[in-house]
Amino acid sequence: MDIQEEHIIPNVVSQYNLDEEQEKKEIVRKYRALLRALRPKIKKGDKELLRTAFEMATNAHKTMRRKTGEPYIFHPISVAMICVDEIGLGVRSTICALLHDTVEDTDITLEDVKDEFGNEIAKIVDGLTKISTVMDTNSSQQAENFKKILLTLTDDPRVILIKLADRLHNMRTLDAMKQEKQLKISSETIWVYAPLAHRMGLYNMKTELEDLSMKYLEADTYKEIAKKLAETKRERTKYINEFVRPLKDKLTSEGFQFEIYGRPKSIHSIWNKIKKKGVSFEEVYDLFAIRILLDSPVEKEKEECWKVYSLITDEYLPSPERLRDWLSNPKSNGYEALHTTVMGPQGKWVEVQIRTKRMNEIAEKGLAAHFKYKEGSQNEDRFDKWFMQIREALGSQDEAGIDFLQDFKTSFLAEEIYVYTPKGEVKMLPTNSSALDFAFYIHTAIGSKCIGAKVNHKLVPISHKLRSGDQIEIITSNKQKPSEDWLNSVVTAKAKNSIKDSLREEKKTIAEEGKYTLQRKLEGIGAVYNSYNIDQVMNYYKLHSHLDLLYRIATKNIDLKELKLFQVLGDKIEAPKPELVQIEHPDTQTLKQIPKKDSELIIFGESSDQIKYTLAKCCNPIPGDDVFGFVSTGKGLIIHRTTCPNATQLLANYGHRVVKTKWAKNKEISFLTGLSIIGMDDVGVVNKITNIISGELKINIAALTIESQEGLFKGTIKVFVHDKDELEELVDRIKSLNGIQQVNRFDTATV
């Protein structure tokens, strides 16, 4: 039988046109399918509990419908099915998934849940209710909500797993939402939920969340890659069969029990490779991976995986740099496998993943499967350590939500490296960790006194970035203490929090002097030193805490001259109202506002009601780009492309400041944008390019630089275009020239 590619994203039916009787039948059919999936886990008495939960949820949601038009109960049943089928959770989690929206959206109370199902289930439902605002697309602080999610991790990790299932189903049915909500929810998903699913070991879910997010955030690119994958599927299947044929023969003759298949890389990971390596779709060599699943007893798993590796590399030459050994050093989320890249037929590199069925279940079902196999193994210990580190990070409650989220992503959601102590103990750290991160990981006191390190017996500074396999010895001095610039040298939450704590203590000592200065100045204008008055002064100087204010006064960054302008009313002072000054910006244009709720701002409309806006420098939007307006503090409205490098973070964290925006036709104004070009260094190539731009298309050139090296040239061109269509025509014309390899629009360069 031919080996076929395994599909990644399931077909999801999001619209139901069913009458009431059919709907009832469909609800019952879905519930029965859920029971069938749960059958191996159902014990005595469980069926009755499940039935009660199903009826409670159905009755509670009976008058509600989703944006898709389907009965609302379809959603909790689908979330429960994801929990059982794709995460491997059991009966208790299924009951919680069925009830996850009842306390938030219906008349059912937490007490009702507790009375019916007991404390354990009530606690999980309560956790899910507390973080339900995460799906509120008007929520202003996604980061704060995410912090709440993580706090539930200390109580019961099932809360996060059910929340991930909830997010996955919402992403699968996102078509019914308006575009701005699609952008916000997709941004949240790619920013937080996909990395979290990855870190919980749910690789299939992570992949699907990334692909579904890209479907809305980079719609054109997504469709283009999906189309090319479909067009090349037959050719890939033929190649996969050719590649695996000799491997199947070898594995069979050696007596292995195995499955072998080709699995296409996700659209999102292909897009990442295209961007990272600056290549076209056709040049991405690993569009798929070969996966070998062995049916091995636990005690022989490692041995048999390495035997299979040996058989593969006898047949095909491996790339030594591309061997990933997660058998000897499993990831902290329990992931175990051997990955290698080999040179296959026709000179193509092919990634091969070798794992056992047990490892595969952990890779696909993550945390749930991990605890199913717990036997006091080393992996479990690593997972527990990871949880312990998260709990430690959550202990720092005074950190702003956005900072916390950024730190969490770099500390806990990043890929890992493993390094060694001088005694040979292995330690796992996130990618990009420095010697200073390692010092704080060992102990806070060692980190605080660190003055340098020896990496593989060579002296390095504290900011030195570590690589997998490094052996590190930390050098300390009792005279050393943390400084502000240390924060730029670390990525782990533990190191950052320890440095901030140390700086805060020092700041408090210095701030004491500022306290006396402020007290004297307030008494000088006849006011008292109290919390209300300190707040007034703090807000006037646009600071975030009393400590910041007192510290700045003590270090003479604020001289309090403006206190004379404050009014004294009894015990209270009142800050003077700041004058509003309209600052004209040379880059601002005008736009029309349609004065109604949920309206769009149309750029370049004609109206007496004018608003100022600025085009973002980070992505340089031009007419025709998909854009959104972002209300920035102090800078007014800034227009960003939806594909801007900063868009994901802005949409995910500040959805309340996003304004729906679109372009109106206007051929009078031109916009500066840039292209980077790579090609063969040929005589007259510059002349041909400039002839197309200035001669044929009559486009004005703002700047042109060409660098030639070893037969290749790299050029950047800045041009004034009227809209995206004009830019795309220019790109197509330049690409059609002989010897031109790549033409790309600038994403982040300052044009």
What is the set of active-site residues? 104-105
Name the token pair of 140: 């202003």
Which run of H or of E encompasses 113? Answer: helix 110-117
DSSP 292-345: EEE---GGGHHHHHHHHHHHHHHHSEE-GGG-EETTTS--TT----EEEEEE-G
Q: Which residues pair with 745 in a beta bridge?
A: 675
Alpha carbon 398 to chain centroid distance? 23
| Token pair belonging to 531 | 């919390």
| Overall residue count recorded for the chain in this entry | 751
Q: Left if phi > 0, otherwise alpha if psi is -120 to 50, otherwise beta: which for 604?
A: left
The tokens of 641 are what? 């492309």
Q: Single out the residue of 442, 416, 441, 425 nearest to residue 331, CA to CA.
A: 416
Distance spanning both ends of the chain, measured CA to CA: 55
Total Cβ atoms within 10 A of residue 657: 17
| Angle (CA) 538 543 547, round 5° | 75
DSSP 240-301: HHHHHHHHHHHHHHTT--EEEEEEEPPHHHHHHHHHHHT--GGG-S-SEEEEEEE---GGGH
Full strand arrangement of the beta sheet holding 712-721: 700-709, 712-721, 671-680, 740-745
CA distance 401 to 134: 13
Structure tokens at 597: 């709720």
State how far the Cα of 472 lies from the Cα of 438, in Å rounded to an integer: 8
